[in-house]
Amino acid sequence: MPYLSAVNDHERRLARVVEEILESYREFGNINHLDGSNLPTRAEVADLADDLVSIIFPGYFRGDLLDELTSRYFVGERCARILRNLENVIARALAVECGERPPTSRPRAVLEQQAHEQAFQLLQAVPEIREVIHTDVQAALTGDPAACSSAEIIMSYPGVSAITFYRIAHHLHVRKVPLVPRLMTEIVHSRTGIDIHPGATIGHSFFIDHGTGVVIGETSRIGDRVKLYQGVTLGALSVDRRARGGCQRHPTIEDDVTVYAGATILGGDTVIGQGSTIGGNVWLTHSVPPNTTVILEAPSQRYVGGRAE
């Protein structure tokens, strides 16, 4: 009897916990998803992105042994798998668009057709995406004296991983696919420490050296042949949500600009002119003319309790 009493007591306590959790669902409904539809999962989107990367960089990942004969079969199988999985994920994202309450009432068949077209268009765009990523890899090979080969850059440089995921996500973002593009860039953010919003506009031959801590905001505009080092922030001066809706909140970086480690550049009206160099740890909230170098004056350094050699 004491054992049964203890069991009943545990059940009652657990039942109270369950009721309290359910009550929190009713009170804080904005962080629930209880409408009966499944959202895309991070694991699904990560697998999809990795599959897309495997056809952008064939033979580099997942142990695929490819040559002229087998590549046709590899690409065919991988594209069929991507198409099937991507249209399923996009359809579920379209069913519950970001911020839409209640969920969309569009017929399931309409959503599935839209998702199929979006997925197919992304696959059609792979050659164009590869053309731009080729310039990104070349920029890394040219811009980093430590780089030995394209293979080393593709397989080990976090900046190349981040920009590859971004270019896939950006294609979906500009075509109004909800949720999935942001999940893609956040997945690679967790892997590399590089945070690029899929809405940013980035030209060709883009290179992020080292990369950890780089942040590129949604409305940033980056030209061609731009190089960023670790810890660079291209951010907004205001975080007021009312400032959204077509307004540029993040800076413009024109062609052939280099931004060194730790620099922070803020504001939608801030333009860094073509050919300029922004030194490490510089803080900018105003524009810089073309072909300008901005550096901090040498800081004063003190030694306390010891003697400088």
Asked if residues 278 and 284 have their Cβ atoms less than 8 Å apart, the reply is: yes
- pLDDT attached to residue 308: 54
Task: Tell me the range of 2-6, 10-14, 40-44, 120-124 where mean pLDDT is highest.
Answer: 120-124
For residue 282, report the phi and psi dihedrals to the nearest 5 degrees. -70, 145
pLDDT band at 8 (very low <50, low <70, confident <90, very high): confident
Rounded mean pLDDT, 217-238:
96
Residue range 237-253: mean pLDDT, rounded: 79
Two tokens, residue 218: 């949604």
The count of structural domains within the chain is: 2
Spatial separation of the C-alpha atoms in residues 271 and 247, rounded to whole Å: 15
Residue 271: pLDDT band by 50, 70, 90 thresholds? Answer: very high
The per-residue pLDDT for range 103-116, each reduced to its tens digit, is: 556 788 888 999 99
Residue 243: per-residue pLDDT: 58
Query: Could you tell me the pLDDT band of residue 192, with boundaries at 50, 70 and 90?
Result: very high
- Rank 23-37, 211-225, 241-255 by mean pLDDT and report only the highest: 211-225
Lowest-confidence region among 9-13, 88-92, 194-198, 286-290:
9-13
pLDDT at 176: 94
pLDDT range class, residue 120, cuts 50, 70, 90: very high
- Give CA–CA dist 301/19, Å, rounded: 60
Would residue 262 be called left, alpha or beta, if left means φ above 0 and alpha means ψ between -120 and 50 degrees?
Answer: left
pLDDT of 249 above 90: yes
Residue 110 lies in a domain: yes
**Strands, DSSP E only, in the chain?**
195-196, 201-202, 207-208, 215-216, 221-222, 227-228, 233-235, 252-253, 258-259, 264-266, 271-272, 277-278, 283-284, 293-294
Q: At 258, give phi and psi (nearest 5°).
A: -115, 130
**Residue located via tokens 């997925």:** 119
Q: Which of 173, 43, 37, 148 is nearest to 103 (CA)?
A: 37
What residues contact 115, with CB distance under 8 A and at least 6 apart? 86, 87, 88, 89, 90, 91, 94
Q: Which helix (H) or strand (E) holds 123?
A: helix 108-124
Contact 94, 104 (CB under 8 A): yes
Residue range(s) defining the domain that contains residue 288: 213-296
pLDDT value for 4? 52
Do 51 and 170 lie in a common domain?
yes
Instruction: Look up the CATH number of the domain holding residue 128.
Output: 1.10.3130.10
Residues 146 and 279 in one domain: no
pLDDT of residue 194: 98
Give pTM, 2 decimals. 0.88
CA dist., res. 254 & res. 231, Å (int) = 19
Q: Decide which of 66 and 130 is more confident.
A: 130
Count of beta carbons in the 10 Å neighbourhood of residue 173:
21
Do both 47 and 166 map to the same domain? yes
Lowest-pLDDT choice from 25-29, 84-88, 123-127: 25-29
In whole numbers, what is the pLDDT of the chain averaged over residues?
A: 90
Domain membership of residue 70 (yes or no) is yes
Bigger pLDDT: 219 or 34? 219
Query: pLDDT tens across 45-58, in order?
Result: 999 999 999 999 99
Tell me, what's the pLDDT at 36?
59
Residue 187 is assigned to a structural domain of this protein? yes
**Residue finishing a domain among 163, 193, 223:** 193
Asked if 183 and 47 sit in the same domain, the reply is yes
Q: In this structure, is residue 19 part of a structural domain? A: no
Mean pLDDT of 59-80: 87
CATH number at residue 290: 2.160.10.10
| Cα–Cα distance, 102 to 107 (Å, whole number) | 14
Domain boundary among 193, 222, 249: 193
Q: Which of 45, 33, 182, 192 is nearest to 100 (CA)?
A: 33
Question: What phi and psi, each to the nearest 5 degrees, are found at residue 71?
Answer: -60, -35
Question: Burial letters for 206-221: b for 16+ Cβ neighbours within 10 Å, e otherwise?
Answer: bbbbbbeebbbbbbbb
